[in-house]
Amino acid sequence: MTAGADTDTGSLRSRVRVRAAELVGRGWLNTGGRSLSLADLRGRVVVLDFWTFCCVNCLHVLDELRPVEAQFPDALTIIGVHSPKFEHEADADALVAAVERYAVHHPVLDDPELVTWKAYAARAWPTLVVIDPEGYVVASMSGEGHGPGLASLVTELVEEHAAKGTLQPGDDPYVAPPAPDTALRFPGKALALPDGSFVVSDTANHAVVHLESDLETERARWGGEGVLNEPQGVLLATPEVVERLGVDLLVADSVNHQVKGIRFSDGSVHVVAGTGSQLRERSGGGPALEQALSTPWDLAWLGDRLLIAMAGTHQLWAWAPGETLAHGRVEVVGGTSNEGLVDGPALEAWFAQPSGLATSATGDRVWVADSETSALRSVTRAPDGALVVETHVGTGLFDFGHRDGAAAEALLQHPLGVTELPDGSVAVSDTYNGAVRRFDPTSGQVSTLAQGLAEPSDAVVERDPESGEVRLVVVESAAHRLTRVGLPEAAQRVDGPAHRTQRPSTPLPAGEVALEVTFVPPTGQKLDHRWGDPTRLDVSATPDALLVSGAGRAEGLTRTLVLREGIGSGTLHISVQAAACDGDPETGEVPEHAACHLFQQDWGIPVVLDAAAGATLTLDLRGV
């Protein structure tokens, strides 16, 4: 971005104005084949949404943007800038599928080389940049929770530029793509029933479908739009739950942020856990129907409790059924909500978007596909009853690839599903590699069972009724189908490429560095200090030795870090949270139906030590 000479003296801000950089990428989606420029958008408020389709937080922001889009149809244009994290996400066809999968109804710039990402100095997914009708940047926001504040800012910009005569409402450049025509649409998870039939979550059709053994003929269809919203994990209820609560099938209803139960006899759908609102605090517990959840993605039994892969908060939760649906309870059982790969006691462990669960045949272990760390992990119960997390394959947030061999060196790419095989080994639906991989706990080796699949997201074991042959039924999500895959006598060893997420490193000097997180509450909101500081900052590093001091969780939005000389490079992990309320709670000037809003973001900042670099690291949570 380039600084202009004039300054803004209007009601919103007074600072050097920054001209928005041009939108540069490989191509455009949702424009009818037309390329857009900032000149085409002059006269409208523009919001750039920097996202990547693997990122659950980006999906949350898409949902936050929908009502803002609807509120300003003539004055606001949202542009998705897709800047990929994983190699697979840079594939043009994969992006086309993702835009449809997640119902993105605005233009999208395909930015595989991160050209526009770098021009706007984006540091994390998701990031929002607001551009006024004259083409100047007026705000930068990272993370979730910005919907109401963004609407307030757009309202101010519309009023200001209408008065100046620089607002020129016009047609939205969005052009809808052709409607798809397949029976299933981006199915997510599957379940084999004892009679040889299958249950599959028909995710983009917002339904759960019961298929005959031919994998095509529908026996029943449950839910539908308005009842379910992008369902994912499906799991049979235990006999005790069936008898006590009257539901046969449990469903992770991801975008409704609930776990639901389906009764086979009449097809009725019942809420088991969740209020229907997204959890913002990343903690909680208590009565299941009174506790908000955040994007539950898969389910598995661990003893008599239901383990929930809570992708939206990077945690594992558990549901304990009660005597009635109203008496169930939920609690956090794993994950601090920090995003990363840390093993040990479950409540101290770090996860990154856990998306697949499978209970072992012995019942004492649950395998976990931890998608953002490209890792296979597991949860077991220690002799004292505590849960313990262990990583079997994977090294962290930014390393991925398709490489077999010893588990310590093997690489996956954003796996979404995990399945235990009859011999005790584990099949991993290695989604972004289009493969099914196998981990052998006995030998510690990883191999490849099948390749050439279209974003496999789950698999279930099936035994051929005539030959007795064991095979897999794989959910090929991007091909909108279930596919039978035989298990080879000898698995293949692939020595493919290793990748690392490519983002510009931030130069910082060894020694003291001032970390500053910018947060300006939206107009009409104030930080609420009545019960202490409403902000929180959590800092850690990879490797741990990078930080001499400054690590840990504490109140405030500033921190003095001390970086260790001689480390060379690493990653700073920075999580921030700020709460602002409508009106001014401290003076009592609070409007009717006032609400409080939670803003939060997790950054992984690659850094390189450079003695000549500035000693300040500034990050925008909400900077205007």
Could you report the per-residue pLDDT of 165-207, keeping only the tens digit for each?
999 987 889 999 998 889 999 999 999 999 999 999 999 999 9
Which residue is associated with the tokens 């109401």? 148
What is the rounded average pLDDT of the residues 367-371?
98
pLDDT score, position 7: 33
The proportion of the chain whose per-residue pLDDT surpasses 70, expressed as a percent, equals 96
Q: Are 63 and 55 in contact (CB under 8 A)?
A: no
Which residue is associated with the tokens 């069936």? 242
Residue 210 has pLDDT above 80, yes or no: yes
Q: According to the 3-state scheme, what is the secondary structure of 475-498?
A: EEHHHCEEEEEECCCCCECCEEEE
Q: Are 293 and 271 in contact (CB under 8 A)?
A: no
pLDDT score, position 586: 65
Tell me which amino acid residue 480 is. Answer: H
Please choose, from the candidates 398, 378, 369, 304, the residue with its C-alpha nearest in 3D space to the C-alpha of residue 334. Answer: 378
DSSP 323: S
Residue 5 has pLDDT above 80, yes or no: no
Tell me which amino acid residue 41 is. Answer: L
pLDDT score, position 597: 84
pLDDT score, position 280: 84
Instruction: Please provide the average confidence, as pLDDT, over all residues in the chain.
Output: 93
Residue 107 has pLDDT above 90, yes or no: yes
Give the pLDDT band of residue 623 (cuts 50, 70, 90).
confident
Which residue is associated with the tokens 């639906």? 429
- How far apart CA 44 and CA 46 sit, in angstroms, is 6
Q: Are 577 and 589 in contact (CB under 8 A)?
A: no
Residue 8 has pLDDT above 70, yes or no: no
The proportion of the chain whose per-residue pLDDT surpasses 90, expressed as a percent, equals 83
What is the rounded average pLDDT of the residues 274-302?
95
Please choose, from the candidates 116, 1, 2, the residue with its C-alpha nearest in 3D space to the C-alpha of residue 51. Answer: 116
Please choose, from the candidates 326, 255, 245, the residue with its C-alpha nearest in 3D space to the C-alpha of residue 286. Answer: 326
Residue 14 has pLDDT above 60, yes or no: no
Question: For residue range 398-431, what is the model confidence (pLDDT) as tens digits?
Answer: 899 999 999 999 999 999 999 999 999 999 999 9
Following CA atoms 235, 241, 245, 249 in sequence, which dihedral angle do they give, to the nearest 10 degrees?
10
Give the pLDDT band of residue 594 (cuts 50, 70, 90).
low
Measured CA angle at 139 (ends 584, 398), to 5 deg = 110
**Greater confidence, 417 or 588?**
417
Please choose, from the candidates 148, 139, 224, the residue with its C-alpha nearest in 3D space to the C-alpha of residue 185. Answer: 224
* CB within 8 Å of 469: residues ≥ 6 apart: 463, 486
**Greater confidence, 3 or 105?**
105
pLDDT score, position 595: 79
pLDDT score, position 16: 64
Give the pLDDT band of residue 9 (cuts 50, 70, 90).
very low
Following CA atoms 95, 96, 101, 106 in sequence, which dihedral angle do they give, to the nearest 10 degrees?
100
pLDDT score, position 527: 86
Residue 3 has pLDDT above 80, yes or no: no
pLDDT score, position 11: 34
Give the pLDDT band of residue 593 (cuts 50, 70, 90).
low
Question: For residue range 243-285, what is the model confidence (pLDDT) as tens digits?
Answer: 999 999 999 999 999 999 999 999 999 999 999 999 987 789 9
What is the rounded average pLDDT of the residues 609-616?
96
DSSP 583: S
Residue 305 has pLDDT above 70, yes or no: yes
Gyration radius (Cα) of the chain, Å: 24
What is the rounded average pLDDT of the residues 540-555?
93
- How far apart CA 494 and CA 404 sit, in angstroms, is 5
Measured CA angle at 265 (ends 259, 271), to 5 deg = 20
Q: What is the DSSP string of 136-202?
A: EEEEEEESB--HHHHHHHHHHHHHHHHHHT----------PPPPP--SS-S---EEE-TTS-EEEEE
Q: What is the DSSP string of 334-371?
A: E--S-BS-B-EEGGG-BBS-EEEEEE-TTSSEEEEEEG
- How far apart CA 508 and CA 567 sit, in angstroms, is 12
Q: What are phi and psi of 70, to 5 degrees?
A: -70, -25
Tell me which amino acid residue 223 is. Answer: G
User: Treating both helix axes as pointing N-terminal to C-terminal, what angle do 147-164 and 56-71 enclose, rounded to 10 degrees?
Assistant: 40
For residue 22 the two structure tokens come to 């041009």
Q: What is the DSSP string of 380-433?
A: EE-TTS-EEEEEEE---TTEEEEE-EETTT-B--S--EEEE-TTS-EEEEEGGG
* CB within 8 Å of 479: residues ≥ 6 apart: 453, 454, 455
Q: What are phi and psi of 329, to 5 degrees?
A: -135, 150
Please choose, from the candidates 603, 624, 580, the residue with its C-alpha nearest in 3D space to the C-alpha of residue 140. Answer: 624
* CB within 8 Å of 316: residues ≥ 6 apart: 307, 308, 309, 310, 332, 333, 334, 335, 346, 351, 354, 368, 379
pTM: 0.91
Give the pLDDT band of residue 596 (cuts 50, 70, 90).
confident
Give the pLDDT band of residue 10 (cuts 50, 70, 90).
very low
Please choose, from the candidates 569, 574, 581, the residue with its C-alpha nearest in 3D space to the C-alpha of residue 550. Answer: 574
**How distant is the alpha carbon of residue 16 from its chain centre?**
35
